[in-house]
Structure 1
């Protein structure tokens, strides 16, 4: 069963076809190529990076139940089988076959893969595309580029030119950039470009211990502006991780309205800024996308993690955000189940939200179908030049 084939509501044929049309997943990560222990699998279906408390399991979450309901049949099992049965079948098939089945059945026509999470255990962008029967392109993690430059450059002065050169080289082979500035610092950063002297001084301090994660606010700001310059030259968008996320994220500093000054400063430049995940700040993100012409939003991993509750979040975006500003991104990572469920619950959530509007006579059938195509693939094709 392809992701979303079992929609929760009846829709006119044209709208159903639009909801089920192939999606452009504008932000995901590589999934594991190796066979997994139960403990590792459980951490990969949640944003937690630690095991569940003793005597409990991460399968007792909306995502855990969704794995057993929707992924089990793709592995030849009955829906709702116990976790142990599911994982035994997963091990029997092997990671390559599980990945092939789940990625292909997600109904993705193009994977845009954030390659910032390293490791030979993860599929590359090309491998994600091959197993999923889809096109695949790279989204460059800006902080990863900076880390490589800091580890190899000779001085604070060369740090600036080396960073520019490396970003430009990466941009030539990618369709966009992404930043996780919310994790080491928060989105409440000073929006102004730092001076060259301040950058050189901060870079010299950085080079004393370049293996540390970048946290210096001057260099973080410099990195963002350097990326904006390269993105403008190459007509590439820049993604920002906001809202719901990993344990290292300080939630109250991940509200995208905190970076309004930066958004306003970049408006004349015209580089598209994509606010990802956003929940529980999706209403704030919606405001930014409404008032700034270069701002776009998605709800990323939220549909997969809220599962049956996805319709409420998807519906709220339809209430608030211009339809040409919304994107689909699964934020699938670690296990292919997250990619599959991201697509499935996005489609189910969108179907439910569209059905309400159609039944109320608020939307016509052609409008509902057009919006579904825009959000599912058309908007991504436009801003990523696919």
Structure 2
């Protein structure tokens, strides 16, 4: 089945995509400045005299989104934003998500704000939605409840028991878990599970500070191992992100020892984004049967260069180990851009290899379907396809 969506010509005959890592869409109206702020991973305004529309993401929005709203490709930002206001947020969301060719959304619900949830996001796109539970947000919610209860003497014990229960309960319905340990400490964590005594001490110290944000490396490791014990896939942020991140601490190669330690647990690790360390992620997916790599954020932010980035992902990673996602957040436009960049890049890479005689057309179509949907359906145990 070929989906009617921006990007590609249908030569690869892709099934409906599985967006295995994305976020909700803002429900409210946005000013021009607020809209533009979501075109970048920066948390700061554009430099004086410049605009975030003058980025690969900004150009991609103006290429792929206007036709879905009844405008010509590459219209001016002002024309596009005016049309967006005219249609209203709900209609824009329906038109843009409905034109992506995405059939299944795995939504990380751990970000704050007035965002659509998994089912509301999917409904707008005419698909199905599943929740991905962010571990650090879950732990912070449990900690807030313990602090509110006001029992400092038993706080650590109540927290650790409540956290174990919360992870176990979430695993009953969630498609998987996600960790942003790369942001909170970095990926150079000790690979083994922390001891019960170390967890208790770390919990006691964190709760006593009153700090809501979890950064303690012992508790971050504890979260990873709690999630690993559920058998649900565990997504790990690696590579590119906002300035809260220290990029050199997010190299997926830092997870090599953790990959060794988790090899027999029955839990798959999914390395998110990866860029500019996507070749390291490809190596880990090559070396460890339970490690997968996600092309996600890498493609939406690299524009026409997404073809080269995807080809580099495909150099070493086994083709059954790569997953598609948009990492779209706040703007439905980012779903459109992410899916279009993926389709275009995949078709350019694979049809080029077919023309050169390196691949058969049959194999190109089969692998395209795996990367776009089949691999994610297998990893997350999703029905359909």
Q: TM-score, normalised by structure 2?
A: 0.94
1:167-186 superposed matches below 5 A: 167-186=167-186
Distance 1:188 1:293 in 2: 21
Q: TM-score, normalised by structure 1?
A: 0.94
Q: Tell me the matched-pair count.
A: 373
Residue pair 1:3, 1:341 contacting (<8 A) in 2 also: no
Equivalent in the alignment of 1:370: 366
Report the secondary structure of 2:104's partner residue: strand
Match for 1:48 among 38, 42, 63? 42
Dislocated runs of 4+, deviation >2 Å: 1-7, 209-212
Alignment root-mean-square deviation, CA: 1.3
Matched, 1:347 2:340: no
Residue 5 of structure 1: CA displacement? 4.8
Residue 209 of structure 1: CA displacement? 3.3
Residue pair 1:30, 1:113 contacting (<8 A) in 2 also: yes
* 1:266-312 Cα distance to aligned partner (Å, 9 max, x none): 00112100001001100001110001010000121121111111110
Flag structure 1 segments of 5+ consecutive residues without an equivalent: 8-12
Residue pair 2:274, 2:294 contacting (<8 A) in 1 also: yes
Distance 1:67 1:5 in 2: 12
Equivalent in the alignment of 1:10: none
Matched, 1:36 2:36: no
Residue 29 of structure 1: CA displacement? 0.2
1:1-386 superposed matches below 5 A: 2-7=4-9, 15-18=11-14, 21-119=15-113, 121-153=114-146, 154=151, 155-230=155-230, 232=231, 236-386=232-382
Distance 1:83 1:313 in 2: 27
Query: Structure 1 residues 211, 92: CA separation in 2 closer, same or farther (over 3 Å shift)?
Result: farther
Residue 348 of structure 1: CA displacement? 0.3
Report the secondary structure of 2:323's partner residue: coil
Distance 1:313 1:245 in 2: 17
Flag structure 2 segments of 5+ consecutive residues without an equivalent: none
Residue pair 2:8, 2:347 contacting (<8 A) in 1 also: no
Distance 1:371 1:3 in 2: 19
Query: Structure 1 residues 50, 2: CA separation in 2 closer, same or farther (over 3 Å shift)?
Result: farther
